[in-house]
Amino acid sequence: MARAYSSRQPTYSTSARRGRPSSGRRRARPVGTAPRKRRGPAPVVIIAIVLAAIVLLWVLGKGCSGSQHAQENDRLKTYASQANKPIEQSASIAQQFSTLANSIRSAAKNDIDSKLSQMAKDCRSVAQASAKIKVPLKATDLQPLAQLAYNLRTQGVKEYQTGIMGVLNNTDRAAATASVSKGLTDLVVSDQVLQNYRSALQARLTAAKAGTQVGDPGLFVASVDSASTTAINAYILSIASPASATKSTAVNPSDAIKAYLKNKGVDYSSMSFSVASTSSSDESWKIDAASESGSTPTYFLLHGANGSWTVIDSGTSFTAEKLKSDSAPTDLKPPVTSSN
């Protein structure tokens, strides 16, 4: 029997391909050009940029700081220029006060009262003008000193006026003396405070390299010692007219002096008494001294008659002309003092 012929084509299995390793397969490539990998800036560039930014910020900060410092210095100079006005005005009042205080005995009472009233008013105006000044940061701790001093000067002049008019009007001598003492003490303190203020402000202007000079505020009272109890007692005695006070008489010179001081409201408890000078032609005329330890003595012209002594005049010094006007013998020598 003939074998039948098949027209079917032989088939081939793909199982052999499946058995190949996967690494042998070809990968499909994407169509088109492959994108390039993005690269960042180099580390050196980043560091350079950061450093540049830091330097820029430092320069800008320093520039702003320097500008602010210069502005503060300018404000301090402006303040000093404005502060000089009340300083100069107060110095002028101080000069007027000193001149009047040293010539009280020869001035008219009404004139004294009027001048002191005007000074007190002017001192108040100075204090008010000072309070209106714009204070910079560099002077915020100094301005209160100036204000305190100006207020003390206003208060001191008023207290002095009250006391000195009491002395001249021969009213309550003890109260008048206390008022004079309080007024002069306030003025001494104001002098010291303003001098400290001036020094401190000048130092800051110098540190700021400013050429502005702070004016001299002057002195109402020549020295701190002028406000001591002893100095004030002597001052009161020197300006109180003996004719306006009751003459004090006692059996011995020292008791006469004590009575005289008591009449004037002066504390003599710590004073000692000594003879300064005696007339050789008439021993009923003499000059005695009363003083406290370490203080300037006050001298008393005494005249003895009918077994008692009377204080004729007193002061911190005497001259031959003054003794002559008090009817003392010409051979009664004035005591030797620093003023003569």
- pLDDT score for 156: 97
- pLDDT score for 219: 96
- pLDDT score for 20: 52
Closest residue by Cα to residue 277 from 201, 334, 216: 334
DSSP string, 33-83: PPPPPP----HHHHHHHHHHHHHHHHHHHHHHHHHHHHHHHHHHHHHHHHH
- What distances in angstroms separate CA 27 from CA 10, 22, 23, 24, 30, one per listed residue? 31, 10, 9, 9, 9
- pLDDT score for 175: 86
Both structure tokens of 190: 């104001």
Q: What is the mean pLDDT of each run of 10 residues along the chain (340 residues)?
A: 52 51 55 56 71 66 63 92 96 95 85 95 97 94 96 97 89 84 95 96 92 94 84 78 57 90 83 92 92 85 88 88 86 79
Contacts of 219 (CB under 8 A, 6+ apart): 94, 98, 191
Contacts of 297 (CB under 8 A, 6+ apart): 276, 289, 290, 291, 316
- pLDDT score for 245: 44
pTM beyond cutoff 0.85: no
- pLDDT score for 1: 45
Contacts of 299 (CB under 8 A, 6+ apart): 276, 287, 288, 289, 290, 314, 315, 316, 317, 318, 335
* Stretch (H or E) spanning 323: helix 320-325
DSSP string, 222-274: S-GGGGSHHHHHHHHHHHS-GGGSPPPEESSHHHHHHHHHHHTT---TT-EEE
